Amino acid sequence: MGKTTLALRLAEDLAEDLDVEVVSADSRQVYRGMDIGTAKPTQQERRRVKHHLLDVVDPDESFTLAQYQDLAYAAIDGAQLRECFPLLVGGTGLYVRAVLEGFSIPRVEPDERLREQLYAKAAAEGYKALHRRLQELDPVAAERIDGRNVRRVVRALEVCHQTGKPISSLQQASPPPYRILQIGLTIPRDLLYQRIDQRVERMLSSGLVSEVRSLVEQGYGDELPSMSGLGYRQICLYLSGDVSLDEATASIKQQTRRFVRQQGNWFREDDPRITWYDASHPAFVETVLARIRRFLEE
């Protein structure tokens, strides 16, 4: 059982006592038309439980962390005004931390000319050259950001350039005025990898190739940040004839496994703020539900 399925189950089990609204914390589910590859909740699931922050922008529109944080707080506050219980659900660590810890995010407008120069540098000299530049200007941010995530490195350099200050010095935290219960799901690694493979196969059988082809035909190329996500980039390579479908599928599975390992940098099992549950345990849903009920009674 994944995060979305668990959220639906919890919402329905809690419905006797209160209404639940889900606030997505997934950086890919904000894009319209990107449903299968992001495992976005279906329309039927959305009718069962109200969801926020799905289908916010088109794939070629920019969407910043600051925008996400503002919309997430608005959704949470709105749910509480309606006397509903908000569930922040998702695996994008930066989004989750920005909301729960109250990041003070630099409101710096994009500098397209500078971005083009930086992306060109990364293409010509490799991502490590760009990351070395960030290490010189902001070693704290460089330590936090994986050099292979060129988009985040470019954003950090952009903020440094426009403000004259390291982005890390501007990202101070001021926790929001919420009572927060953090729940994390864990699962034995071999079983996790098996489920990843099964999920990728389901996406392909559900029409992932057709979804990506439709996006490309609408003019959304693989140079867009939205199209760089897991599944989309690899299927774009397949559609352009650079790899076979089998090669693309194997790459999606491999990169998904790597992404899951990297999530450990955001959600650590030794973090005392997070209560972890083994999602492979037969009674884990009932255990999580009991913990939430205790939280609501505190």
Q: Grade residue 171 by pLDDT with cuts at 50, 70 and 90.
A: low
3-103+174-186+268-297 and 206-263: same fold? Answer: no
- Look at residues 235, 253, 254, 255 and name the one whose alpha carbon lies nearest to residue 245: 235
The pLDDT > 90 percentage for the chain reads 72
Q: Measured over all CA atoms, what is the biggest interatomic distance in the chain, rounded to whole angstroms?
A: 59
Q: What is the pLDDT of residue 239?
A: 97
Contact 197, 37 (CB under 8 A): no
Q: How far apart are CA 118 and CA 297, in angstroms?
A: 52
Q: How far apart are CA 68 and CA 296, in angstroms?
A: 26
Contact 28, 37 (CB under 8 A): yes
Contact 29, 64 (CB under 8 A): no
Q: For residue 50, what are the β-bridge partners? A: 21
Q: How far apart are CA 235 and CA 60, in angstroms?
A: 18
CATH (residue range 112-170): 1.10.20.140
CA angle (24 as vertex; 20, 27 as ends), nearest 5: 180
Residue positions counted in the chain:
298
> Does pLDDT of 279 surpass 80?
yes
E strand map for the chain: 20-24, 50-52, 85-89, 182-186, 274-278
CATH (residue range 206-263): 1.10.287.890
Contact 245, 209 (CB under 8 A): yes
Q: Does domain 3-103+174-186+268-297 have CATH number 3.40.50.300?
A: yes
Q: What is the pLDDT of residue 291?
A: 96
Q: What is the pLDDT of residue 190?
A: 94
pTM above 0.75, yes or no: yes
Q: Measure the N-to-C terminal CA separation of the chain; round to a whole number of Å.
A: 28
The pLDDT > 70 percentage for the chain reads 99
Contact 147, 153 (CB under 8 A): yes
Cβ-based neighbour number of residue 262 at 10 Å? 13
The tokens describing 173, both together, are: 């935290």
- Give the three-class secondary structure for 188: coil
Q: How far apart are CA 21 and CA 84, in angstroms?
A: 7
212-260: pLDDT as tens digits: 999 999 999 988 989 989 999 999 999 999 999 999 999 999 999 998 8
Q: For residue 51, what are the β-bridge partners? A: 22
92-125: pLDDT as tens digits: 998 999 999 998 887 777 888 898 999 999 999 9
> Does pLDDT of 196 surpass 70?
yes
Contact 200, 253 (CB under 8 A): yes
- Look at residues 156, 155, 200, 265 and name the one whose alpha carbon lies nearest to residue 36: 200
> Does pLDDT of 65 surpass 80?
yes
> Does pLDDT of 261 surpass 90?
no
- Average confidence (pLDDT) over 9-33: 94
> Does pLDDT of 46 surpass 70?
yes
Q: Number of H helices and number of E strands within the chain?
A: 14, 5
Which residue ranges make up each domain of the chain?
3-103+174-186+268-297, 112-170, 206-263
Residue 86 Cα to chain centre, angstroms: 18
Q: What is the pLDDT of residue 27?
A: 94
